Structure 1
């Protein structure tokens, strides 16, 4: 009787333990599945969340806004091709009169090749410059070349300086001289070229400056 009862109790206990273990395994599987689903959902949410653009993406590193400005226009065609008084490179007084009134003179200046020279300024020191430099070997025309971001007044003076230089170039080199200045204003650089009988050592406009340098010692003799 005891043995039979004990046997019955043991069988019942084993069955109960089996059911309990099965329930635990089922719970673990459910928890693991739920955790996987939660992890996948979190990953998806992170992937779908838009990333804010870096503040530096659409801004300069220093925070400054670049200025574009309006390029200066030189209406060379309107400056005319009417006849002008022809001048020689040694007619300094007549050359200066084309540029206007001399504001200051520096007798201890230097020319293109660092030779002693005289510089004649036709503008005050705080204004866009217009200069003549004269030495034994060179005659140099120099004027301010306005930048797109300059003021309207600075641009206007730059245009006026260019027009005077255009006129003087025509007086010294004929229509070829006028074309030379037009080419300079369009960004061309001319070196060691005979133009209208004058030897042009260098002619260019860049970095706020235009310069036209005539080699007087080779003028009207170099036929290259």
Structure 2
């Protein structure tokens, strides 16, 4: 029994000495090659930093992209400034003639103030519109105001509508009427102002639409 205990003790001591020597050898190797140890540590640190700082690409969840287009240019300065035949707001047939051929008529329409009126359309239903609305109190010009992302054809029609409105405004209000259209196309909103002897109830171009509303009552003062 004693011999067995001594044998077991000796084996344990031998194993402990082996582990100690192995640890010493490893420490000695690190001490003899400090550059290799430092390089290993540096590589690990760089890898950790790269993992932390590399940005993660975020997917476009809705897949949408902002539409961009070319705004419509209205070269009003180059439009004809030749003399025109003056018209009054009651000369409906002559006014319609300036806009062209009437495609359809709605006798049960409403004017700017929701009064009974007649609407004259000069374009097909599915085309950018050009309208006249006539009532006892108001004469209204309305046309499609093209968006930058519209097609080339839609933009051309919008420009043509603006040119016709420019000509009609000059017939009704002289050169001041032409300037009024230019101001509208430039983003100005005109309200309750007398222009060229006509009372302007509202004139503006926004949200795909231009509208010029003339009050048929004779203007006595300039409310600008």
Please, what TM-score do these two structures have when normalized by structure 1?
Answer: 0.79
* In 2, Cα distance between equivalents of 1:108 and 1:149: 34
**1:158 corresponds to:** 158
Matches within 5 A, 1:113-192: 113-192=113-192
SS in 2 for 1:120: strand
SS in 1 for 2:174: helix
Is 2:132–2:142's contact at 8 Å kept on the other side of the alignment? yes
Given the superposition, is the C-alpha separation of residues 192 and 61 from structure 1 closer, same or farther in structure 2, using an over 3 Å criterion? Answer: farther
* In 1, Cα distance between equivalents of 2:152 and 2:210: 19
**2:4 corresponds to:** none
Q: Could you give the per-residue CA deviations for residues 14-47 of structure 1, whole angstroms, max 9, x where no partner exists?
A: xx89x95x948x66x95xx9xxx87886444121
Is 1:117–1:136's contact at 8 Å kept on the other side of the alignment? yes
**2:47 corresponds to:** 45
* In 2, Cα distance between equivalents of 1:48 and 1:97: 74
Please, what TM-score do these two structures have when normalized by structure 2?
Answer: 0.79
Is 2:104–2:120's contact at 8 Å kept on the other side of the alignment? yes
Aligned residues: 203
**2:57 corresponds to:** 54
SS in 1 for 2:210: strand
Is 2:193–2:222's contact at 8 Å kept on the other side of the alignment? no
**Pairwise CA RMSD of aligned residues?**
3.0
Per-residue deviation, 1:67: 2.2
Q: Could you give the per-residue CA deviations for residues 39-86 of structure 1, whole angstroms, max 9, x where no partner exists?
A: 886444121345244233xxx542133221211111111212111111
**1:3 corresponds to:** none
SS in 2 for 1:82: coil
SS in 1 for 2:204: strand
Is 1:199–1:222's contact at 8 Å kept on the other side of the alignment? no
**2:207 corresponds to:** 207
Unaligned runs of 5+ in 1: 1-12
* In 2, Cα distance between equivalents of 1:221 and 1:107: 31
Is 2:98–2:168's contact at 8 Å kept on the other side of the alignment? yes
Given the superposition, is the C-alpha separation of residues 223 and 41 from structure 1 closer, same or farther in structure 2, using an over 3 Å criterion? Answer: closer
Runs of 4 or more above 3 Å deviation: 37-44
Per-residue deviation, 1:197: 1.0
**1:102 corresponds to:** 102
